[in-house]
């Protein structure tokens, strides 16, 4: 009787320990996702500590939207100074607005629950979009037609990265 009671108690302790490890591992995966995302968008991890993946995705969206608005303001400054025509500025601003809509309404999913390979792909696409938008900011500051063409090229590559990311999330069952 005493042996059965100790065996049952041991089983309960084992189940409790295993469930505690599972919960701890899930929390670790979420925080690792947040840490990697903070590295990807050049922010300090302390801003992301304790955040859920949804909050991290919101911060990433805000980062991309702020980069897009910077490109838009640079193009408006060029138009106001007379460096580019109305048609060129409208074309670039329409492209930037479509990127903002794309990032707002694209599926994001629960990336920390995905496998390691998928998370690497998603992180790579996020970095690609941010790097392309950063390059677009640099090319939109210059007052040349050639730089406007490179700005359009960078905006297109950022849009492609966001589209591929959305399709990858949709293929894995994300929302």
pTM: 0.68
What is the rounded CA–CA span in Å between residue 6 and residue 15?
14
* pLDDT band with cut points at 50, 70 and 90 for residue 154: very high
Residue of 18 and 82 predicted with greater confidence: 82
Q: Is the pLDDT of residue 4 over 70?
A: no
Interval 58-88: pLDDT, tens: 777 888 899 999 999 988 888 888 888 889 8
Q: In this structure, which long-range contacts are made by residues 72-80, counting pairs with CB atoms below 8 Å and at least 24 apart in sequence?
A: 72/96, 72/97, 74/137, 74/140, 74/141, 75/140, 75/151, 78/140, 78/143, 78/148
Which among 43-47, 135-139, 146-150 has the top mean pLDDT? 135-139
Which among 30-34, 59-63, 89-93, 146-150 has the top mean pLDDT? 89-93
Q: Is the pLDDT of residue 45 over 70?
A: no
pLDDT of residue 54: 64
Measure the N-to-C terminal CA separation of the chain; round to a whole number of Å: 52
What Rg, from alpha-carbon coordinates, does the chain have? 23
Q: Is the pLDDT of residue 15 over 70?
A: no
Q: Is the pLDDT of residue 12 over 80?
A: no
* pLDDT band with cut points at 50, 70 and 90 for residue 111: low
Q: What domains does the chain contain, in order, with CATH numbers?
A: 51-171 (1.20.120)
pLDDT of residue 70: 92
pLDDT of residue 9: 53
């Amino acid at each position: 009787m005493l042996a059965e009671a100790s065996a049952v108690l041991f089983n309960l302790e084992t189940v409790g320990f295993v469930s505690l490890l599972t919960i701890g591992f899930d929390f670790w995966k979420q925080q690792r996702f947040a840490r990697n995302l903070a590295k990807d968008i050049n922010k300090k991890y302390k801003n992301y500590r304790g955040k859920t993946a949804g909050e991290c995705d919101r911060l990433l969206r805000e980062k991309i939207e702020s980069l897009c608005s910077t490109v838009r303001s640079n193009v408006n400054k060029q138009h106001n100074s007379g460096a580019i025509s109305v048609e060129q500025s409208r074309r670039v601003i329409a492209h930037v607005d479509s990127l903002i809509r794309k990032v707002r309404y694209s599926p994001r999913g629960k990336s920390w629950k995905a496998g390691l390979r998928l998370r690497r792909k998603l992180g790579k696409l996020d970095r690609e979009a941010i790097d392309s938008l950063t390059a677009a900011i640099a090319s939109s500051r210059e007052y040349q037609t050639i730089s406007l063409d490179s700005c359009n090229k960078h905006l297109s590559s950022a849009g492609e990265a966001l589209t591929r990311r959305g399709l990858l999330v949709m293929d894995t069952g994300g929302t």
